[in-house]
Structures are given as C-alpha cells and as structure tokens.
Amino acid sequence: MAKFEYAPAPESRAVVNLKPSYGLFIGGEFTESEGGSAFKSISPSSEEVLAEVTEASSADVDRAVDAARRAFTGTWGRMSGADRGKYLFRIARILQERAREFAVLESLDNGKPIRESRDVDVPLAAAHFFYHAGWADKLEYASLGPNPRPHGVVGQVIPWNFPLLMLAWKIAPALAAGNTVVLKPAETTPLTALLFAEVCQQADLPAGVVNIVTGAGATGQAIVDHPGIDKLAFTGSTGVGKMIARAIAGTRKKATLELGGKAANIIFDDAPIDQAVEGIVNGIFFNQGHVCCAGSRLLVQESIAEEVEARLKRRLSTLRVGDPLDKNTDVGAINSKAQLQRITELTAAGEAEGATRWSPECELPSKGFWFRPTVFTGVSQTHRIAQEEIFGPVLSVLTFRTPHEAVAKANNTPYGLSAGVWTEKGSRILWMADQLRAGVVWANTFNKFDPTSPFGGYKESGYGREGGRHGLEAYVTTGDTK
Amino acid sequence: MSPTTGAPSRVEIKKTYKLYIGGKFPRSESGRSYEVYAGGGTSGAFLANAAQGSRKDARDAVVAARKAVDGWAGTTAYNRGQVLYRVAEVMEGRRAQFVAEVRASEGVGERQAEALVGQAIDRWVWYAGWSDKYAQVLGGLNPVAGPYFDISAPEPTGVVAVLAPQASSLLGLVSVLAPVVVSGNTAVVLSSEHRPLPAITLSEALATSDVPGGVVNIITGRTAEVAPWLASHRDVNAIDLSGAAGAEGVAWGDLEKAAADNLKRVVRPAGTGPEAVEPDWTATPDLSRLSAFLETKTVWHPKGR
C-alpha cells in the first residue's frame, strides 16, 4: 500500500506580536529593573532569539512584594468575593479570546507541539480561571474551616514544561481566595507569563494584585527568602523543593510543593492492548516527556510483554517529530540545551548499565534541541533510568508477574506523584488504586487533568494539592483571627 | 506485734518504667533511666524512674511503626473507630490512676485533674466517631469536563513522629495522638520529657485494649536528644512538632529543616514567629490535626459502554 506523506501544516506566527525586550510587571506596569541584568529567551526548536527578558534583582523582588502587599491591604484583600470573581471571569474570557496567540507563543517559547498548546495548555488555563472565579464568593462553603480568609502575599515559582498552565494553576486559586501574587516564570519560558501580564492590564485588574518577575534561580531564591511573603507555591524539581522546605523551616511561611515523579504505568495481561499502547505513548511522549507525572516506567505483565513491546514500537514509528508549529507534529523540541544534556547523560547511563535502547527512525531538524522518542527494554529496578526522573521522551520497560509484584515495583521509588493501571478487571483496578502510593491514579487512561480534580504527590513528590476544593485549601487560612 | 514508731505501714514499691515499642515494653537499649519528680520539675517529690530512650530506641520504634502501617491502615474505618472507642473504655476503668498521675505531674488540684482526664477520654471518643466520616467530608467526586469517573479520597500518610506536649501530659498527648492514628497512620510518640507518667500509663491502657502492637509506640526520655533522629529519619512520613514548645534545648526550626530531607509533612508548634507556645488543649478541636496527616489520592476512570 502506498504511504502518503504529510504536507506541512504550520500554524501562522502572525498572531504573535513580540516586543524586542520586556521589563518586569510590577504594580500593574512594566518597569525597568533596578540593578538586574537581561537574558534572551530563545525558541528551542530553532535557537532563534524571541525576545530579551529582565533578570530581576532582589531589589526588584522587594518592589514586587511591596506592590503585592499594598494591593492586598489596599484593594484586593478588601474587595468582595463576588467582585474578585468577576475579575477572574474576565481573565478567563480574555484567555479564551486570545487563545490562538497564547498557543502559538507557548509553542514558540517552549517547543511543545501546537496541537498540545492549542488543545490542552491554553484551554485548561482558561478553565482554571473559570473554575476558581466561582469559588471567590463561596469560600465559606468549601469546608476548609471557620472564617476562611487569604494568607496575604503569595510567592509562586513555576516550571518550564507547562508555562501558562502552571501560571493558571498558581494564580487562579490564589486570587480567588483573596491573596495577591508575585510570580516568577521559568528562565527558559517567560514569554506567556509576560503576555498574561498584558491580560491583567486588559482586564483592569487592580495594580499589584499580580506581579510577574522574570529571572533564574537567584530571583526565585529572593522570593522564597523574602520576609514579606506569607505563602509559597512551587512546582519543579524535588531537589529545589527540598531547598525551599529548608529555607522556610522555623518560619511561619506556608508552602505547597509539586515536585518530581517516576510514575509506573502498569499493563495487565487482560488490558485492551491497543488502548493501553495509546496510553503508554500519551503517558511518556506527551509534551516530550517534560511532565512530572509522566508514565516513565512501563510495568508490563510478563506474559504480554513481547506483544506490547512490538505494538509499541510500531506505534512509535508513526510519531512525527519536528516543527512545534506544524499542526501534524506529535513530538516537539526539548526545552533547552541543558535539559537535552541531562536526557543524553541519563540515556547513556541506561546503555552503560546494560539496558537495551531503541528509537524509531526519524529525521531531526538540524537546528534546535531534539531527542528521538526512546524505549529501553531489559531495565532493572536499580538502573538509573528506572530510579531518576529523566524528564524527556524516554520510556523504561520493566516486567512483573503478579499484582503484588507490580505494586512493589511501582512503589519502589521515593516519588509518589502518579501511576497508571490498565486492566479490564474492575476489582483489580480498585485494589491497585488502593495500593499505589501516588497522588493521582489513572486507570485505563493517563495524563488527564481538570480544574476540579486535585493534583499532587505523596512522599518526595511534594505536598499540597492543586485543583478542586483541595487546591483552594492551600491559599486559605482559617480559625480565629490572631 | 506493732510496727516500729515512725516507720511506714507498708514499704512502697518504687516504680521503674519502660518504653512501649511494637506492643512490648522493652527497657531502653541504652540501659539508662531518669528520675521523674512531682510537678514536672527537679525539686518535687520523687515519682518514678522512666526509661531514657535513645536514638536506637527511636529507630526500633520507627521499624515497629512501619511494620504496623499496612495492617492498621488496611482495617475498616468502622473497625478503627471501635478500637479508638475501646481505648476510651479502658482509660475510663483506670481513671483514678490517670487522675493521680496528672495531678502529680502537672501540679494541679484534684478537681482539675479529674476534668483533664475526663476530657482526654472524651477526646478519644470524639476522634473515634470521626473514623468513618472524615473521608466523606474531605473527599468526593470531581465533576471533570469529560467522560470520566474521578474521585478524590484521603489516605493515611504512613508513619508519624509526634513530639507530645510538654505541659499537658495527658490531654495534650491524646489531642495530638488520636488524630494521627484514627485515619490509619502509626505513631512514634516522644512523651513529655518531665511529665511522662500519664503517657506510660496510656501505653499500658493501649496494650490492654485492641490497638495492634506497633500502631502507637511511646518513648520517654530527653526530647532534645531523641527528636532530631525522628526528624531526620528517612522512613518517617510526617512529624508533629507541637511538643517542641517548652522543651529544653529544642529549636523547632532545626527539626523542621531536618525533616525536609525526605519532605516530611510538618505540623509546626503553635505560636507566632520563631516562638513556640503550647496551646490550650481544652479547646474543642477541629479537623486540622486529622487532615494534616492525610494524603489526597485522586483516581480517574473513563466511562463508556
């Protein structure tokens, strides 16, 4: 049978109007840095410079925290919940109206396929604002305790894998509860956060309610250490999460930490194999595997391991790797050179430790940061690729014989963010779900997210939940006023 | 034959107590003990010798607690409620002993000691009633925008280290212990350093009730010596630092910092800023202590024909 090639179907970049350089969004305005430097945000798929961005100094963070405090005491903290909600509804609507612009910019800055930014990141970000808008005047119904009220100024540091979506996960519940925010987007993906700052202006959000300070680790550290911050929310690596937990030890700052993972995706012999293969692919190759809850460890029941492996390889051979703006692209660019190096190092360790490496044939663009979808078979539990978070399009395949063995292997990690179970047997799903030490269990599906659904980890995957009534809890204090 | 003038009618048995680990009462592996005096000080009447727990004892207690997690968390909520209620029943039978020990330890009058013991027993009853209710209050169905059944429910976090309050030797202890174990966690409790007797008697009550061995482990000794090993222990999932308030040589910030090594869930002591204060344990509790040691698990499944 003749094989039809896909014609390129690129999404237009015309919808995005980037400025050559961006300041910091403090007190409702874009301002120049005080003593900070500048850095470039590049497109990981082409290494093209997209814009110059400010690296905020600690003096800038001071200004941002001051602006947030003034907004908290002056306007936002006094406003009725109903009015706060209306601002959030406004923001949600504007995000929907400007969805294409956000999607294209996200794919440019992050390297993820436009199909994902368009169909997942941006609509979910808008949905988070819609969902939390409704909570703003209903906090006392959320069963969080008596007299629910905001903490004050919240510091938020977010990662580069879902830049706008993580911003929404952080800002929407914080604002709904009446807090004001100082948010730092990731160093490599600051642009949609800066575009979001424009949305805040467009929505006439009172000045200082949302402050966006761009920068790298030092800027994040300045936020964490700032005495004017009442609560911290962080999504990122477990290593940095532990540093934050140490930094705030002995203070009264609250924190929620959404950290790394090494999820097991468990396939039993009675699973619908084709659906499971789609779930495996979605589990680890969605967003280039730059997903903390990615199904990076495939646990297959021994009796069907060969068949699953064969079908998986056949399916991976059809994945299209390339231009993130092409609507046919399945796998985009690796977010940064540093991340590409980490993936390269860990996969080399996988080979060196004796696992068998396989990748489909596919041509990679000559410029930018790319990594072929990769599968390791013959992986044992002690291999680094079975223990460490790779955060890339790399799947480690292990086998098991009994449900107990699957549980023991799945739980054999300091992480506990997510897990997947594939079986047609209902009682086994429920038993497995009980046994797995993970905050999210996807049964016969994977990588599903919703604003109403709490997300977050057990063990060293962090603490606190985001989304739903549970996520709101982190932004509210209760009990007697002290 | 009449006794010699001035001599007691009966020679009292001075007590030397032991630890409570894995349902048994071992001595401290260190062989040490320390003297406990009335009023929690060092100048009152001698009350008893308590075992001076060590790092090794703390580790043994964590092993026992870990071993007990699956069984205890795996019982039904109804059953855990029954077991907690049974603790109240057993305590009720030993009321007089608890009252005497609270009175001696805390230096309070008879009437107040009776009130405190009564409240401690009632607190078990209060938490017993929560065992099969908090999951519905704290969990529920998530109305996701898609054809999925999506539900969130709380689960116990695992092994919880508890620094029991220093001043409130029984009511404070029960107020921090019951919310840990009601949900299926197991506990390693470091008792009040200078007022350990009610905790020791509680361990005897627990051993003769239906609480499985290892679910509650109680170590007496120096808080400043043992607490850091619990805070840094990699197989402890959470730590309650309430008992850091008023503990000699204990900086709760250091303990919290050590707890970050494996991202333990931490309940800070009450107070503002770096200051730690012991709260009024007679106040009616809420769900915050219970929920502090829970993990929310969310399960998704597609709907289809």
Structure confidence by residue, pLDDT tens digits, A70-89: 999 999 999 999 999 999 99
pLDDT in tens, A399-434: 999 999 999 999 999 999 999 999 999 999 999 999
CB contact under 8 A, A450 and B259: no
| CA-wise closest residue to B253 among B239, B240, B268, B238 | B268
CB contact under 8 A, A438 and B146: no
pLDDT at B5: 58
pLDDT at A55: 98
pLDDT at B6: 61
pLDDT tier, A4 (very low <50, low <70, confident <90, very high otherwise): confident
Mean local confidence (pLDDT), B243-255: 97
CB contact under 8 A, B300 and A448: yes
Q: In chain A, which residues have their Cβ closer than 8 Å to the Cβ of B252?
A: 250
A424: nearest CA partner in chain B? B301
Calculate the CA dihedral of residues A331, A332, A333, A335 and round it to 10 degrees.
Answer: -100
- Selecting from A444, A468, A478 the residue whose C-beta is nearest the C-beta of B152 gives A468
- Selecting from A252, A444, A470 the residue whose C-beta is nearest the C-beta of B296 gives A470
A246: nearest CA partner in chain B? B257
pLDDT in tens, A373-401: 999 999 999 999 999 999 999 999 999 99
Using CB atoms within 10 A of its CB, is residue B302 exposed (0-12), middle (13-18) or buried (19+)?
Answer: middle
CB contact under 8 A, B148 and A441: no
Mean local confidence (pLDDT), B48-63: 98
The token pair at B264 is 């333990």
- Give the mutation candidate from A234, A431, A435, A450 for the B interface (greatest B CB count, under 10 A): A450
CA of residue A330 relative to chain centroid, distance:
18
CB contact under 8 A, A448 and B137: no
pLDDT tier, A36 (very low <50, low <70, confident <90, very high otherwise): confident
CB contact under 8 A, A249 and B148: no
Q: Quick check: helix, strand or coil at residue A7?
A: coil
Mean pLDDT score across all residues of chain B: 96
B251: nearest CA partner in chain A? A250
Encode burial over A420-459: b for 16+ CB neighbours within 10 A, e otherwise: bbbbeeeebbeebbebbbbbbbbbbbbbbbbbbbbbbbbb
A252: nearest CA partner in chain B? B273
Is residue B1 pLDDT above 60, yes or no? no
**Considering only CB atoms, which residues of chain B are within 8 Å of chain A?**
137-138, 140, 142-146, 148, 150, 152, 157, 237, 251-254, 256-257, 259-263, 265, 268, 272-274, 286-288, 295-302
Measured on CA atoms in the order B244, B246, B247, B252, is the torsion positive or negative? positive
Q: Which residues of A are catalytic?
A: 258, 292
CB contact under 8 A, B302 and A463: no
CB contact under 8 A, A238 and B261: no
pLDDT in tens, A465-480: 999 999 999 999 998 7
Cα of A449 to nearest chain B Cα, Å: 8
CB contact under 8 A, A459 and B237: yes
Stretch among A38-47, A138-147, A249-258, B124-133 having the lowest mean pLDDT: A138-147
Percent of chain B exceeding pLDDT 70 equals 97
A275 touches chain B (CB under 8 A): no
A443: nearest CA partner in chain B? B301
The answer to whether A124 and A451 have CB atoms below 8 angstroms apart is yes
The token pair at B247 is 């503990």
- Selecting from A242, A443, A452 the residue whose C-beta is nearest the C-beta of B260 gives A242
Q: Which amino acid is at A108?
A: L
Q: Give the separation between CA B120 and CA B140, rounded to whole angstroms.
A: 31
Q: What are the φ and ψ backbone dihedral angles of B37, each rounded to 5 degrees?
A: -115, 160
Q: In chain B, which residues have their Cβ closer than 8 Å to the Cβ of A470?
A: 152, 296
Max distance between CA atoms of chain B, in angstroms, equals 94
A256: nearest CA partner in chain B? B265
Percent of chain B exceeding pLDDT 90 equals 94
Mean local confidence (pLDDT), A347-367: 96
A125 touches chain B (CB under 8 A): no
Q: What are the φ and ψ backbone dihedral angles of B242, each rounded to 5 degrees?
A: -50, -40
pLDDT in tens, A262-288: 999 999 999 999 999 999 999 999 999
The token pair at B10 is 């009966």
Mean local confidence (pLDDT), B268-297: 96
DSSP string covering B101-149, please?
HHHHHHT--HHHHHHHHHHHHHHHHHHHHHTTTHHHHH-EE---SSSEE
pLDDT at A482: 45
Q: In chain A, which residues have their Cβ closer than 8 Å to the Cβ of B290?
A: none
Percent of chain A exceeding pLDDT 90 equals 97
Q: In chain A, which residues have their Cβ closer than 8 Å to the Cβ of B299?
A: 433, 440-443
- Selecting from B148, B253, B268 the residue whose C-beta is nearest the C-beta of A445 gives B148
How many CB pairs lie under 8 A apart between chains A and B? Answer: 115
First to last CA, chain A: 75
Q: In chain A, which residues have their Cβ closer than 8 Å to the Cβ of B259?
A: 245, 249
Calculate the CA dihedral of residues A28, A32, A36, A37 and round it to 10 degrees.
Answer: 120
Q: Give the separation between CA B167 and CA B247, rounded to whole angstroms.
A: 9
CA of residue A423 relative to chain centroid, distance:
28
A256 touches chain B (CB under 8 A): no
The answer to whether B269 and B158 have CB atoms below 8 angstroms apart is no
A441 touches chain B (CB under 8 A): yes
Q: Give the separation between CA A298 and CA A268, rounded to whole angstroms.
A: 11
pLDDT at B4: 54
B134: nearest CA partner in chain A? A143
Mean pLDDT score across all residues of chain A: 97
Rg over CA atoms, chain B: 21
Return left, alpha or beta for A288; rule: phi > 0 is left, psi -120 to 50 is alpha, else beta: left
Q: In chain B, which residues have their Cβ closer than 8 Å to the Cβ of A251?
A: 253, 273-274
The answer to whether A292 and A283 have CB atoms below 8 angstroms apart is no
Using alpha carbons, list the distances in angstroms from residue A475 to A155, A181, A197, A241. 11, 11, 21, 18
DSSP string covering B287-299, please?
SHHHHHTEEEEEE
The answer to whether B227 and B252 have CB atoms below 8 angstroms apart is no
Q: In chain A, which residues have their Cβ closer than 8 Å to the Cβ of B294?
A: none
